[in-house]
Amino acid sequence: IMCLNMHMKSFTRIKKINGQEYIYEITPYYDKEKKQIRQKSKYLGKNVNGVPVKVRSQDQVPKKVLSHGEFVPLKKIAEDLELEKILSGVLPGKEVWPILTLAMNYATRPRALIHIQSWYEGTTISEDHPDLPLSSQSLSRMLSRIGESTANLEFSRKLIQQISTCSTLVYDITSLSSYSQSISLLEYGYNRDGLDLPQINLSLIVDMDLGIPVMYDLYPGSIADVSTLKNTVRKIKAQGVRNYTMIMDRGFFSTDNIEELVAADLSFIIPPTSTLKNVKEAVSAIHSSIDDPEHLKLYEKEPLFVMPVSIEVGENKLSGYAYYDQKREQQERSAFYKRLYDLMEVLKSKNLKHWMNPGEVFRATAKRDAKYIEWKAIDGRFQVALRKNAVSQAINKMGKFVLLYRGEFSWIECLSLYRSKDVVEKGFDVLKNDIELMPANLRTNSSLRGYLFIAFIALILRMKLTRLMIDAELNKRYSVEGLLTELEKIKIMILPDGEKITTEITKKQREILDALHMCA
């Protein structure tokens, strides 16, 4: 019976009396005498937009119930980063809160421009900053003005000067695809999402210590990753950033880029492309000795073999570390063999018609794995076998990787910094999936640039919230969406006399706010 009582939770129920809805708290309990479950009922108040309100007279029924809780962390982050001050130094003062309001919308529940005004009127932002010009026409004009200006570069310069540590910058690039026919920046190029659409390339620089983006740039979709780095280095320098380390993926590795980074006297960490002859020779040279016990290290409680290497790239000789992870090797090997097996089964099942070109069918089916399979077409069927030498070469590389660097880094600093670059990849994921970066109704280059500026500020808010959640260990219980959803239940009621009342804070909400050192 005690166990039964412990597991019966209270819940709310709406009762309709004389046409008016009232909210009651219902608590089940076990009646020992009647030996059955009964319920206790507690009056909470009138149902006002889903919120129980206790009133003594009709005059005290709230005239408005506004969304509030989800903006508490976002406003605090904006305040701590001094975003209002920075924006005021870049754009007209009348545009500062329309921009921050739009960014907070994109950071919580993105809506089309046509719905922003209605959304804003139901939030406490409308009380704190009344009469903002948020009609779709006003917002469209504002986005175009921003897009035609250099606001993004000026904003980044002031943000970097004011709050950024700039000790470690992570640099990466992604593709943004669109069906739009009127944006000239959209061009066909290497699409990282595998979409057959014109695209623009967006580069993002994240201050790893703060966990927020500090700079972004746009490039036409046909420009390759390696072509963007020279411009990026120049722009970072123009922002007044000095003495930093760039963390980059192998897509940026080229002899020209390395020479550019060395000429700029920059510190960097980058994995080389495995197609480079000197890299192949270095990996081959360590193959037989890297698993010697003298090279054994421990990284995040897992064994790892590490050897220093030196590789010539053009006229520069770079230091680096070769790593061998046996656990990763086994995972890669298993996935590789399974992929080849499945591919051969698909090829053997192909029914080749007389008008088909077997070579074209093979290449279209095998794609990147074509070099591992030898084939013949006999009687309309593929006969296939693995190329042993090619497979052996691939297997020998598995679990091994090289990181090159310029500066002073231990093996563990090099690896930790490189692996933590997923902060920028998560930023791209937030932009594409949570902030919905490429709406279909954008018509011009200037409106696209203006929209990206708002999305960039929204990304600062989201990524800083993520960092705060990690520091408070809230990420173990909530996603960003889950946390904002829990907080958005906190409302503010405006009474007819202008008094503001915050709805009751639940235990969960209190735990979240306390962990973030914030109050509603």
Calculate the alpha carbon distances from 326 to 91, 304, 329, 331, 443 in Å.
Answer: 54, 7, 5, 9, 51
The span from the CA of 462 to the CA of 483, in Å, is 12
pLDDT of residue 123: 95
Is the pTM here over 0.85, yes or no?
Answer: no
Residue by residue, what is the 3-state secondary structure of 318-361? EEEEEEECHHHHHHHHHHHHHHHHHHHHHHHHCCCCCCCCHHHH
Lowest mean pLDDT among 22-31, 49-58, 444-453: 49-58
pLDDT of residue 416: 83
The span from the CA of 50 to the CA of 48, in Å, is 5
- The strands making up 36-48's β-sheet, listed across from edge to edge, are 11-17, 20-31, 36-48, 51-53
Residue 184's pLDDT band (cuts 50, 70, 90): very low
Top-confidence residue, 388 or 425: 388
Mean pLDDT over each residue of the chain, to the nearest integer? 83
pLDDT of 423 strictly over 80: no
Residue 319's pLDDT band (cuts 50, 70, 90): very high
Name the amino acid, one letter, at 424.
V
Contacts with 222 (C-beta within 8 Å, 6 or more apart), sequence order: 187, 188, 189
pLDDT of residue 278: 81
Top-confidence residue, 227 or 407: 407
Helix (H) or strand (E) holding 172: strand 168-177
The span from the CA of 225 to the CA of 216, in Å, is 14
Rounded to 5°, angle at Cα 96 from 136 and 172: 90
Helix (H) or strand (E) holding 219: strand 212-220
pLDDT of 425 strictly over 80: no
Lowest mean pLDDT among 185-189, 252-256, 323-327, 499-503: 185-189
Closest CA relative to residue 63, chosen from 122, 1, 143 = 122
The span from the CA of 372 to the CA of 342, in Å, is 13
pLDDT of residue 180: 46
Mean pLDDT of 247-266: 86
| Helix-helix angle 445-471:151-162, to 10 degrees | 20
pLDDT of residue 176: 64
pLDDT of residue 436: 55
How many Cβ atoms sit within 10 Å of the Cβ of residue 8? 13
Residues 196-207 as b/e (b if ≥16 CB within 10 A, e otherwise) read ebbbbbbbbbbb
Q: Are 172 and 178 in contact (CB under 8 A)?
A: no
Q: pLDDT tens digits, residue range 393-421?
A: 889 888 888 999 998 889 998 988 888 77
Residue 185's pLDDT band (cuts 50, 70, 90): very low
Q: Are 333 and 395 in contact (CB under 8 A)?
A: yes
Top-confidence residue, 177 or 29: 29
The span from the CA of 516 to the CA of 201, in Å, is 35
Residue linked to tokens 């700039």: 166
DSSP 385-445: EE-HHHHHHHHHHTTEEEEEEES---HHHHHHHHHTTHHHHHHHHIIIIIS----TT--SH
Residues 71-110 as b/e (b if ≥16 CB within 10 A, e otherwise) read bbbbbbbbeebebeebbeebbeeebbbbbbbbbbbbbbeb
Contacts with 300 (C-beta within 8 Å, 6 or more apart), sequence order: none
Mean pLDDT of 188-216: 69
Start-end of H helices in 253-312: 255-263, 277-286
